């Protein structure tokens, strides 16, 4: 038996780039093909934006911490925590920008103009004149402003009922909130507003066994670095890993085609699948058509790949093919946005 005690301390070839083709599962019914696809950002900047200015306006105030977390803290402690948070938030954001295919966004201008009005961590937005002055001074076209952040730290310890001196589970929580605005010159209101609340859990003891040791510094660093990564992926397209299933099964022809793909000989594999797709065995034809779709997707011919999947489902309603088509159709919907963003 256990009880819980809460201690409150609280494109073209570049649009689908093969990142090294990997083939797995040679003994099963599938061969997994791993590669990367480019997913669009949530934000689409106007064409005239070619230089980003990233500005820190977040206030330095005890209000960024929950009241119970301020006990025993002084201004020096606050500045140490603030530096840790801001540095890692910016590191996460920059890590994404540097890997983005939008080369002109890889080197933003970094400035800091901390706010002094901290009532409720809210402040008036930048005025149109302020935005224009910033852009003229720093030769930028968009201001990405960190308006505020906050953090809460909790510690949870669960002990055994039959021996309350022994810890069953012990973990920490770092809850963070960040608020960003994007400003464009000539506009009286923010072009975009982003507010994210997130909680990360760090387990030290699980089921009575030590699994890790965490310092408060490490937890804050990882939590806000992760927040920076997420906001970066909101701003620019990113490469993400995906995988597709190639049927190999027990049929001799599919197994022969799998040997060709294992050796990088996709052309001969495709010929085998094409012949199978015309046969009378509907299930075998459906599998071959699925494999042909994978080939066309790797060639960045998404429309033909989708056509192959439609034909596959007409021959046999295989669940794995239906799921593949849903994922591919999402890529097709994203394609126009990606091409607009990567200009």
CA angle 254, 259, 264 (to 5 degrees): 120
Q: Is 226 exposed, middle or buried (0-12, 13-18, 19+ CB in 10 A)?
A: middle
Residue 116: partners with Cβ closer than 8 Å, 6 or more residues away = 59
Q: How far apart are CA 135 and CA 123, in angstroms?
A: 21
164 or 233, higher pLDDT:
233
In the chain, % of residues over pLDDT 70: 90
Q: How far apart are CA 169 and CA 203, in angstroms?
A: 8
Closest Cα partner for 148 from 57, 63, 66? 57
Residue 95 pLDDT more than 80? yes
Domain coordinates in residue numbering, the chain = 22-37+241-341, 42-236
Residue 91: partners with Cβ closer than 8 Å, 6 or more residues away = 225, 228
Lookup: tokens for 35? 């590669």
pLDDT at 4: 40
Residue 100 pLDDT more than 80? yes
> Top-level CATH class of 42-236?
alpha beta
Cβ atoms of 65 and 152 closer than 8 Å: yes
pTM: 0.81
DSSP state of 236: S
Radius of gyration of the chain (CA): 26
Q: How far apart are CA 337 and CA 341, in angstroms?
A: 6
Q: What is the CATH T-level fold of the domain 22-37+241-341, as seen in this structure?
A: 1.25.40
The continuous run of DSSP H or E covering 239 comes out as: strand 238-247
Q: How far apart are CA 237 and CA 235, in angstroms?
A: 7
Structure confidence by residue, pLDDT tens digits, 263-319: 899 999 999 999 999 999 999 999 999 999 999 999 999 999 999 999 999 999 999
Length of the chain: 343
Structure confidence by residue, pLDDT tens digits, 325-343: 999 999 999 988 888 888 7
pLDDT band at 164; cut points 50, 70, 90: confident
pLDDT at 13: 32
pLDDT band at 25; cut points 50, 70, 90: very low
pLDDT at 250: 77
């Amino acid at each position: 038996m256990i009880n819980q005690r809460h201690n409150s301390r609280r494109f073209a070839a570049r649009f689908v780039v093969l990142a090294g083709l990997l083939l797995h599962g040679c003994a099963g019914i599938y061969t997994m093909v791993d590669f990367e696809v480019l997913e669009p950002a949530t934000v689409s900047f106007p064409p005239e934006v070619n230089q980003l200015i990233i500005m820190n306006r977040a206030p330095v105030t005890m209000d960024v911490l929950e009241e119970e977390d301020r006990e025993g803290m002084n201004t020096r402690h606050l500045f140490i925590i603030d530096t840790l948070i801001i540095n890692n938030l910016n590191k996460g954001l920059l890590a994404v920008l540097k890997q983005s295919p939008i080369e002109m966004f890889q080197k933003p201008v970094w400035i800091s103009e901390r706010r002094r009005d901290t009532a409720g961590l809210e402040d008036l937005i930048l005025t149109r004149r302020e935005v224009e002055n910033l852009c003229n001074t720093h030769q930028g076209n968009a201001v990405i402003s960190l308006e505020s952040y906050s953090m809460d730290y909790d510690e949870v310890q669960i002990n055994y009922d039959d021996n309350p001196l022994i810890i069953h589970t012990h973990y920490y929580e770092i809850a963070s909130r960040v608020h960003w605005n994007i400003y464009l010159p000539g506009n009286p209101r923010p072009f975009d507003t982003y507010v994210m609340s997130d909680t990360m859990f760090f387990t030290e003891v699980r089921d009575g066994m030590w699994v890790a040791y965490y310092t408060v510094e490490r937890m804050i660093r990882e939590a806000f670095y992760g927040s920076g990564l997420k906001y970066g992926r909101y701003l620019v397209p990113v490469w993400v890993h995906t995988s597709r299933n190639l049927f190999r099964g027990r049929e001799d022809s599919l197994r022969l085609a799998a040997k060709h793909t294992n050796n990088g000989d996709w052309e001969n594999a495709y010929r085998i699948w094409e012949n199978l797709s015309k046969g009378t065995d509907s299930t075998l034809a459906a599998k071959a058509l699925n494999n042909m779709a994978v080939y066309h997707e790797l060639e960045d011919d998404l429309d033909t790949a989708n056509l192959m999947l439609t034909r596959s489902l007409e021959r046999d309603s295989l669940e794995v093919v239906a799921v593949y088509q849903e994922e591919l159709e999402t890529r097709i919907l994203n394609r126009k946005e990606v091409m607009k963003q990567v200009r």
